[in-house]
Structure 1
Amino acid sequence: MSDVNRTTGLDDRVADVLEPATVRESGRMLGTLPSHPTAGWFTAFLLVAVITVTAMVGTSNLLGYSVNIINGDTLPVIGGGSRAMIWLLGIVGLAILTETAGRSITQYLINSRTRRLSVDLRKAALSSALRAPVPDIMQLGTGNVISRITQDIDNTVRIIAMTGVRVVVTALIFPLSILSLVLIHWSYLLIFAGIILILIPGVRGAVRVIPQATNVVSSTEARRNNLLLDTIRGIGTLRVLGLADWALGRMRRASWTSVQATADRVPIFTRILLLGSIAYGLLLVGSFSLGAYLVAEDVLAAGAATAAVFVVVRMEVHVFNVLMFASEIQSAVTSLGRAVSLATLSNRAPSAPEPDDLSGAPEVRVENLTYSYPGGAAVLEDLNLTLAPGTTTALVGTSGAGKSTLAGLIAGLQRPDSGRVTVDGVDTATVSDTWTTRQITLISQEVHLFSGTLREDLSMAAAGAEDTELEQALAAVGLERGSPAYVRWFPEGLDTMIGAGAEELSPEIQQQISLARIVLRDPPVLIMDEATSEAGSDNARMLETAATRIARGRTSLVVAHRLDQAVVADRIIVMEDGEIVEDGTHADLVARGGRYARLFERWSEGANSQQG
């Protein structure tokens, strides 16, 4: 178990697959954004901050030296007496106004620049997610991607807005305060040195685990978001199967894990607060005692010793700013790193020159393919398969045989542990996802319709297509203009609103729209992963006929839940436990009397009973 999990009490299952970027990597990436701080802006910001801190330190010193005037002594320049006190108070008031104005200006500069950076970072992260290798995005999970683009960036902006000025002022006030104390008397430096030597081991141990613990919190929250999205998407299935209580229990466990990760981080910051309290207590007592001793020995005037105490007292709020906001600051650093790691994820994509798009149906080869899910045994092991150009191959087998996994690997949704997939001789691992998805299109039972008109949705598959082409694609999948289904579901024709906010279409109509996209996109390789399995019995044959029609002329792989498509396929492959156990045509496999023959017999009996 890793250090972070020993600290948090959580196991390795919550570890994130994409570690946050380091501070240096984040800074380098932010420097490439259009709104990154320019030299002029940074100079102005630093000038304002220095003026602010100088005013703060100066105020403490002046208030301390007022003791000399009260004792009847004089000060350089302003002299002594009541007039000197008035001048001194006036200078203190001006310093306070300068400090207040400087804080406000610094806050404005930080907030405005941070929000501009956040917009650019969000855009870069989304762009990277769209261009990154699909297996990386699939491994991250939708909830994790959304969390990095929204929650992590929002968290960074919120924390910077809340702590930005304090962090900047604190970072400057410590060296200036130490310098001020040394100018009063060099021996004050010994107090700081002693305290630092005492506290370094404890602080270093606590600070070292903060980034890891914070990332565990973010990872558990992303895991919870993934489960929440999965639950929302499957509401219909959960209701039908009566699994609502199971889904709630799963969400409850994920939510509790997130709460536990947050709670387990608390002792780390409690220890840091304790160390900080000890440090400040030693600093205050040490400074007061040293000042009293130096005054007693006539080394320092009472005003100088009082000024030193004022400087130390003024440091208290900044000491505890660092400690109180240590969690928030580290959370912001980790959240920023998570967003930046997503924004740079697309850099992993192959940079080799892409081959030309394929002009016809290609040969698809699966060579020595092995794949296993994280922490599990191999789902596919040393699998070899060749899909002949222009043929339709049906994959059949029991649930868990590895059919969908094989389909996903050919489509590029996952990376194999070993082996390779080639399309017309091109290894898909050596080219970008953009090229692969132009050649291979996978359609499953899960269909997403984009919010907008039917025309807009279809045009995403073929930009610039004329309305007649869109209508022809719909007709090719059984949605002829004027047909009962077309009139019922598309009363305004291609201008009918679909997707979120519109009337929900039936599963069959949604699948027909996705098939029409295939007609428009015209990919050389088509993979259908149980694309018609959700259709009701009255519509299944219509969908299967449409799917068979659009598969013609392409190299097609059909993961068949219903065996109608297997019967008409050029070739049938039977899989069990990740292996190919039978291979042949429908007639050949039925004649053999093996596993396919038994599957077909049971399926035929079920189909006949439904018809009866």
Structure 2
Amino acid sequence: MGGPAGRMMAGGERSMDFKGSSKRLLRQLAPDRALLWAMLAGGVLSVAFSAVGPLVLGRATDLIFAGVVGREMTAGTTKAQAIESLRAKGEDGLADMLSTVGFTPGQGIDFSAVGQVLLVALALYIVAGFLALISSRLSIRVINQTVSRMRADVQAKLERLPLSYFDKAKRGEVLSRVTNDIDNISQTLQQTMGQLVNSLLTIVGVLAMMLWISPLLALVALVTVPLSVLVATKVGKRSQPHFVQQWKSTGKLNAHIEEMYTGHALVKVFGRQDESAQEFAEQNEALYEAGFKAQFNSGIMQPLMFFVSNLNYVLVAVVGGLRVASGALSIGDVQAFIQYSRQFSMPLTQVASMANLVQSGVASAERVFELLDAEEQEPDSPSVEHLERPAGQVSMENVSFRYAPEKPLIENLSLSVEPGQTVAIVGPTGAGKTTLVNLLMRFYEVTAGRISLDGVDVAKMSREDLRSVIGMVLQDTWLFGGTIADNIAYGASHAVTREEIEAAARAAHADRFIRTLPEGYDTVLSDDGADGAGVSAGEKQLITIARAFLSDPVILVLDEATSSVDTRTEVLIQKAMARLAHGRTSFVIAHRLSTIRDADVILVMENGSIVEQGTHDALLAARGAYARLYSAQFAEAVVEVD
């Protein structure tokens, strides 16, 4: 595919735009900025209360240590006298260390004071936990609302995409982006956003407390930060291309599985199980390789970060011990600082360990953004024209169309169809029969020329208004999961009664077989037919024809609509179509020429041009292209094939 899809990395060799896609993904959160600010406020307060906790606990350690030291000193003396006594004995190091301890000689541990400090610490942690819970709840709400909007955006985008997009894209690949990739984005945000915010806030809060206690120790703790950043950057760049390739391989595998499941009968008929299994194995192996490389490369992040964290712990413990020995810090301060150093390195490790999730989520986001950025069909004209009472007069004036610029298909085609006429379009495969109808319905836009309905250029009508007056029955039936009645009622633009549904079914000669089913009109069909109801391919087609009857269109399009029915049913449908076509303009695309003998006008197309037109009898008498087609079907004539 061209465009954004063509710029995707090939074979995992080139990384995607990680920075740009990350920013765009974060912008998806913007509509919930109020909740985001509330979440951030809750996170800041939670981290603040948690950060004060170790300092308070350090105060409890100091009280206990002071009690232990004071109990060993002679009662009745002062702290200063006790320290001078130690210096007089030559124990200067011990005297320096105890100079920062607030002990009272002869007095043991003040359990009342220790209890009060512990209650304060408990209160701090309870409040911090409650605020973290609120912040987490808000985070979950923001994420789910964001993902819900993304799904809605994708659904709306799919409705705006031209038919040409789906002609080029594999259905399984599109489904993978809509389902797997969006689910992966949701999972990534759920597992990382709240934790990432909390980790970053913790780094800031803990760093502030470390600087408060000892700027020197804080500098020691920061020595390992550049090493952590270097590790995270190197590993991230190494693993990101593999995450991109992992999700590309997932899309390809899903496309293959969807195709093989949809056509499983043909796979078995033609004995292609081994080839299908081989292709599955190859794509599955490619997905395994990409997934293994992505997870392995990102997985080494955490062990490396733990190693850096332990280096930090050793440095802080050594320097902190020296500071206590010199009397510059108390034991409680060092204890608190060691806790802070752990709290400082742990968020760095968490952020680094989330790199694989973030990279995987951003890779999926890029695939979804590619879909959202795909070129859309041209919007309706600003000055939309409406038909008050459409009659069904269709005119094509010098219409030209080509799927590819270098390959013309239809050139300077002109046609005029009066209201109520039945126009049959015949010709060899690839002549442009279905394309002609697709242009009428604006599934594609004409390259040149003009198509009008009742004198109004269809390009100046809204697609919704245009298609609301056209009923279409395709060769491939489409039924959704629901009852037969629901499937028939799908063709109506307003609420319909059961009587109207049954009347449409009778007109399409579907009523008889429907009533033979165990649940009748309430028989539940799956999206590809029937769940044990015994509905044949021809009967499914009758249901879709009944749907077209109920829509009561001004223009009726039948694209090989009777190809799946037997000869007797075909005759019945022909009679029903004659009744339905009365007063309506009908376009019938057919290979079976027996279905279009009674058409008012028969158009014979070859290579995008109308080479003959007229009635059945007149065209047979002309002994031209139509006569050759007719002879090939009914006289078993030898046809020369180029």
1:5 aligned onto 2:32: no
1:359 aligned onto 2:353: no
How big is the shift at 1:235? 3.9
Alpha-carbon distance change, 401 to 190 in structure 1, aligned in 2, over 3 angstroms: farther
Alpha-carbon distance change, 368 to 353 in structure 1, aligned in 2, over 3 angstroms: same
What does residue 588 of structure 2 align with? 558
Compare relative contact order (CA 8 Å, sep 6+) and give the higher one, 1 or 2: 1
- Residue of 513, 533, 537 corresponding to 2:543: 513
In structure 2, distance between residues paired with 1:244 and 1:362: 51
Unaligned regions of 5+ residues in structure 2, if any? Answer: 66-96
How big is the alpha-carbon RMSD for the aligned residues of Structure 1 and Structure 2?
Answer: 4.9
What does residue 89 of structure 2 align with? none
Letter in 1 for 2:634: S
How big is the shift at 1:221? 3.5
Alpha-carbon distance change, 133 to 436 in structure 1, aligned in 2, over 3 angstroms: farther
Alpha-carbon distance change, 575 to 558 in structure 1, aligned in 2, over 3 angstroms: farther
Alpha-carbon distance change, 508 to 307 in structure 1, aligned in 2, over 3 angstroms: same
1:132 aligned onto 2:132: no
Alpha-carbon distance change, 233 to 23 in structure 1, aligned in 2, over 3 angstroms: same
- Residue of 39, 50, 65 corresponding to 1:56: 50
| 1:586-597 equivalent positions in 2, closer than 5 A | 586=616, 596-597=626-627
Question: Which range moves more in the overlay, 178-187 or 137-146?
Answer: 137-146
Contact persistence 2:514–2:521 (CA under 8 A): no
Contact persistence 1:379–1:402 (CA under 8 A): no
Q: Give the structure-2-normalised TM-score.
A: 0.72
Letter in 1 for 2:592: R
Q: Give the structure-1-normalised TM-score.
A: 0.75
Corresponding pairs, count: 584
Alpha-carbon distance change, 82 to 432 in structure 1, aligned in 2, over 3 angstroms: farther
What does residue 441 of structure 1 align with? 471
Alpha-carbon distance change, 229 to 297 in structure 1, aligned in 2, over 3 angstroms: same
Alpha-carbon distance change, 239 to 117 in structure 1, aligned in 2, over 3 angstroms: same
Q: Which digits, 9 at most, give the CA deviation of each residue in 1:402-426, with x for residues without a partner?
A: 544554454344567x447734265
In structure 1, distance between residues paired with 2:7 and 2:315: 36
What does residue 401 of structure 2 align with? 369
In structure 2, distance between residues paired with 1:409 and 1:210: 47
What percentage of residue pairs aligned between the two structures are identical?
Answer: 21
Contact persistence 2:29–2:143 (CA under 8 A): no
Unaligned regions of 5+ residues in structure 1, if any? Answer: none
In structure 1, distance between residues paired with 2:262 and 2:439: 23
How big is the shift at 1:359? 0.9
| 1:403-482 equivalent positions in 2, closer than 5 A | 403-414=433-444, 418-419=447-448, 422-424=451-453, 432-462=462-492, 463-479=494-510
What does residue 327 of structure 1 align with? 356
Alpha-carbon distance change, 163 to 10 in structure 1, aligned in 2, over 3 angstroms: closer
In structure 1, distance between residues paired with 2:458 and 2:286: 38
How big is the shift at 1:220? 4.4
Question: Which range moves more in the overlay, 244-253 or 193-202?
Answer: 193-202
Contact persistence 2:472–2:548 (CA under 8 A): no
Question: Which range moves more in the overlay, 340-349 or 1-10?
Answer: 340-349
Letter in 2 for 1:56: S
Contact persistence 1:64–1:310 (CA under 8 A): no
What does residue 529 of structure 1 align with? 559
Letter in 1 for 2:399: E
| 1:328-347 equivalent positions in 2, closer than 5 A | 328-332=357-361
- Residue of 149, 168, 174 corresponding to 2:197: 168
In structure 1, distance between residues paired with 2:433 and 2:283: 29
1:580 aligned onto 2:616: no
Contact persistence 1:508–1:543 (CA under 8 A): no
1:82 aligned onto 2:113: no
Rg comparison, structure with higher value: 2
Alpha-carbon distance change, 279 to 386 in structure 1, aligned in 2, over 3 angstroms: farther
In structure 2, distance between residues paired with 1:56 and 1:423: 72
What does residue 308 of structure 1 align with? 337
What does residue 632 of structure 2 align with? 602
What does residue 91 of structure 2 align with? none
In structure 2, distance between residues paired with 1:23 and 1:78: 60
What does residue 250 of structure 2 align with? 221
Q: Which digits, 9 at most, give the CA deviation of each residue in 1:490-539, with x for residues without a partner?
A: x7765555555461422222212212222221333333222222224453
Contact persistence 1:349–1:432 (CA under 8 A): no
Alpha-carbon distance change, 423 to 439 in structure 1, aligned in 2, over 3 angstroms: farther
In structure 1, distance between residues paired with 2:365 and 2:515: 50
Question: Which range moves more in the overlay, 70-79 or 363-372?
Answer: 70-79
How big is the shift at 1:142? 5.2
Contact persistence 2:413–2:610 (CA under 8 A): no
In structure 2, distance between residues paired with 1:250 and 1:315: 49
- Residue of 20, 27, 30 corresponding to 2:29: 27
Alpha-carbon distance change, 245 to 432 in structure 1, aligned in 2, over 3 angstroms: farther
Alpha-carbon distance change, 514 to 426 in structure 1, aligned in 2, over 3 angstroms: same
In structure 1, distance between residues paired with 2:366 and 2:23: 4
